[in-house]
Every structure is written in structure tokens, then in C-alpha cells.
């Protein structure tokens, strides 16, 4: 993807399966929003091939759009409407696209409860707090019961309680509703909680693609084991914690106390990877040399499978 004379995405290839929650991570300016906007059909790409629910987003019609839901980084509109009126109004757009398997739109009362807007549903949108407004954004994104939901930093401004509720909502959408979710976030705990798969974008390239555990094993490596023995705190870093523990307990048995095994978190993995990428970039190496499972360079941002193709 080129803005003017500058390539900001180059060699981005990935696929997303139906019902998967995929999290796109990367430093500021890496190209996450650009990628998502191309997939949403909101931004014309300068090159490459993209397929979303079986259609090229650049040419997707209203029926295609009705199958997707979008939560952008910020909405600043509809200030004089109440949340309930707005959802009812926007929901009506989806009625012609209702199917027995996917009744559209959501019942507005049910939706308001789902996103935790109950008490505020009859307030004017301009009077909502930042977090309440974000809940409304999420409700707008899912009112048409999308098969595929794009979430661009959805929990920015959420308090911890709202964040937890939102995570439960995403897992419910992905589980019971088989909604495919592609989200960007800078909150690595959030990514760890939600994502079936993580994609890490750096300098416009996918530098890692895998599960949290898979990436940790490949990029962050060892686990840290700590314990207390004869009143003294000890710790080691080991690539095989199970084997180490067997040996430790065989040797010291019940004398071992306060045992803890800490696997690398997604934050450890992410930082290790971005550091390696930056070190490599300064030596002029490409992202592929870090072993990202990206399946070779391709000219486009990706493909999101339709229900049919996903089976």
C-alpha cells in the first residue's frame, strides 16, 4: 500500500478462518489501521489482492457490507440522537439482509443490554462519557449481526469493568454467533485474552503469525522457575520447565516451597520480537529472516474467508 511515494504496507499476507478472533498488533504507524481500512473497503489499495467473505472489498456492494461490522477508532457524530434511537435507525438498514440463520438486526433492547448501555440508552449521545460512547460504537458495529467484525482499538477509554464485559461480549460473539473478529489493540493482555491468533505488523510487514503460546516458544523462549529452599529464594530460566521441575522435586522433595513457573507473556514475546525486528532492520535484514510464518511475500493485505470457504 502506497501513500504518495511512500510504501506503508509491503508483503502483507494472511488468512482468517470463520469464527476466529485474530489480533493485529504492532507499534504506532506500523500500518494496522491502513490494513483494516483496506479490508473494510474504506480505503482503496494501490496494489495487491484482497478477498473478504469471498468478495474484493474495493467492489463489495451493499449486501456484502451488510455482512460486516465496523468499530472505528472514533466516531464523532449523531450528537443529538439518543443511543436507542440511533441503534433503531441504523438497525433498520440491515432488515432486508436478514436470513433465517442470521436474523438482522439485533433486537435493540437486547443489544443495549449486551453492551452494558442500559442506564444510558435514552440519553443524548453527546452526553455520554468516553467509555459509554465506546460501548455505543461497539453496539453500532454489531447491530447488523455481522459475520465479520472489525474492531480498531475497541477498548481505548474503557474502565477495567467495561473492558472485562467487552471481552466477554467478543468471546460470546465469536463462540455462539460464529462471528469472525479482526481487532487491533495496544493492550497485550487484551490480545492474550481474546486472540486465537496473533499477527504482528512492523514497518508494514507481518513479522509474526501464530498463537500466543506458539509465538512465545519461538521468540521469547524460556520459562522462569522460582522456588524457596531452606529459606532462600532461587530461580532459573529454562526452555523445559517440566523436566527441570521433575529433577528439582526428585532431589529436594518437600523442602521445595513457594514454587512458581512464569511462562513468557505476550508482552515479553512482543517486545522480544519488535526488538529483533528493529535490530535486523538496522542491519538491513528483512522480516522473513526472523522466521515469520507468513508463507512468502505477497502483494496484498490478506484474505478473510467466507463461511463456505471456511468449512
Residue in 11, 20, 23, 31 binding ligand ATP, rule: CB under 6 A? 31
User: 46 or 226, CB closer to ligand ATP?
Assistant: 46
Residue 28 within binding range of ligand ATP, rule CB under 6 A = yes
User: 47 or 257, CB closer to ligand ATP?
Assistant: 47
Q: Which residues contact 70 (CB under 8 A, 6 or more apart)?
A: 40, 42, 141, 149, 150
Region from 23-31, 46-54, 125-133, 169-177 binding ligand ATP, contact rule CB under 6 A? 23-31
Residue 74 within binding range of ligand ATP, rule CB under 6 A = no
Residue in 14, 18, 25, 32 binding ligand ATP, rule: CB under 6 A? 32
Report CA-CA distances (Å) from 25 to 31, 142, 192.
10, 22, 11
Could you tell me the three cell numbers for 278? 528493529
- Cell 484474505 sits at which residue? 303
Q: How many residues in the shown chain lie near ligand ATP by CB under 6 A?
A: 10
Region from 28-36, 113-121, 191-199, 242-250 binding ligand ATP, contact rule CB under 6 A? 28-36
C-beta of 24: minimal distance to ligand ATP in Å?
8
Residue 233 has φ and ψ, to the nearest 5°, of -80, 130
Residue 34 within binding range of ligand ATP, rule CB under 6 A = yes
User: 152 or 305, CB closer to ligand ATP?
Assistant: 152
Pairing of strands 232-238, 223-229: antiparallel
Residue in 33, 46, 82, 123 binding ligand ATP, rule: CB under 6 A? 33
C-beta of 74: minimal distance to ligand ATP in Å?
11
How many Cβ atoms from other residues are within 10 Å of residue 260's Cβ? 10
Residue 188 within binding range of ligand ATP, rule CB under 6 A = no
User: 33 or 237, CB closer to ligand ATP?
Assistant: 33
User: 31 or 154, CB closer to ligand ATP?
Assistant: 31
- Cell 496473533 sits at which residue? 198
3-state helix, strand, coil in the chain (%, to 5): 40, 20, 40
Could you tell me the three cell numbers for 7? 510504501
Q: Which residues contact 261 (CB under 8 A, 6 or more apart)?
A: 223, 224, 225, 241, 245
Q: Which residues bind ligand ATP (CB under 6 A)?
A: 3, 8, 26, 28-34
Amino acid at each position: 500500500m502506497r501513500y504518495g511515494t511512500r510504501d506503508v504496507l509491503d508483503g502483507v499476507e494472511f488468512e482468517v478462518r470463520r469464527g476466529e478472533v485474530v489480533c493485529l498488533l504492532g507499534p504506532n504507524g506500523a500500518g494496522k489501521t491502513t490494513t483494516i481500512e483496506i479490508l473494510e473497503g474504506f480505503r482503496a489499495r494501490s496494489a495487491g489482492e484482497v478477498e473478504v467473505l469471498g468478495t474484493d472489498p474495493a467492489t463489495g456492494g451493499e449486501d456484502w457490507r451488510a455482512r460486516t461490522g465496523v468499530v472505528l477508532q472514533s466516531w464523532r457524530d449523531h450528537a443529538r440522537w439518543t443511543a436507542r434511537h440511533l441503534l433503531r435507525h441504523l438497525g433498520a438498514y440491515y432488515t432486508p439482509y436478514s436470513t433465517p440463520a442470521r436474523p438482522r438486526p439485533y433486537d435493540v433492547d437486547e443489544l443495549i443490554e449486551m453492551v452494558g448501555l442500559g442506564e444510558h440508552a435514552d440519553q443524548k449521545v453527546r452526553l455520554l462519557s468516553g467509555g459509554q460512547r465506546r460501548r455505543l460504537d461497539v453496539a453500532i458495529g454489531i447491530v447488523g449481526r455481522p459475520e465479520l467484525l472489525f474492531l480498531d482499538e475497541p477498548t481505548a477509554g474503557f474502565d477495567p469493568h467495561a473492558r472485562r464485559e467487552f471481552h466477554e461480549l467478543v468471546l460470546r460473539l465469536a463462540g455462539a454467533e460464529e462471528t469472525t473478529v479482526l481487532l487491533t489493540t495496544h493492550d497485550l493482555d487484551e490480545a492474550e485474552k481474546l486472540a486465537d491468533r496473533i499477527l504482528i505488523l512492523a514497518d508494514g510487514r507481518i513479522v509474526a503469525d501464530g498463537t500466543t503460546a506458539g509465538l512465545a516458544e519461538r521468540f521469547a523462549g524460556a520459562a522462569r522457575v522460582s522456588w524457596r529452599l531452606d529459606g532462600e529464594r532461587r530461580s532459573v530460566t529454562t526452555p523445559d520447565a517440566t523436566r527441570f521441575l521433575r529433577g528439582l522435586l526428585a532431589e529436594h522433595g518437600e523442602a521445595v516451597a513457594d514454587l512458581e513457573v512464569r511462562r513468557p507473556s505476550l508482552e515479553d514475546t512482543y517486545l522480544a520480537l519488535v526488538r529483533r525486528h528493529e535490530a535486523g532492520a538496522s542491519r538491513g535484514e528483512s522480516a522473513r529472516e526472523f522466521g515469520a510464518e507468513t508463507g512468502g511475500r505477497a502483494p496484498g493485505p490478506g484474505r478473510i474467508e467466507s463461511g463456505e470457504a471456511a468449512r
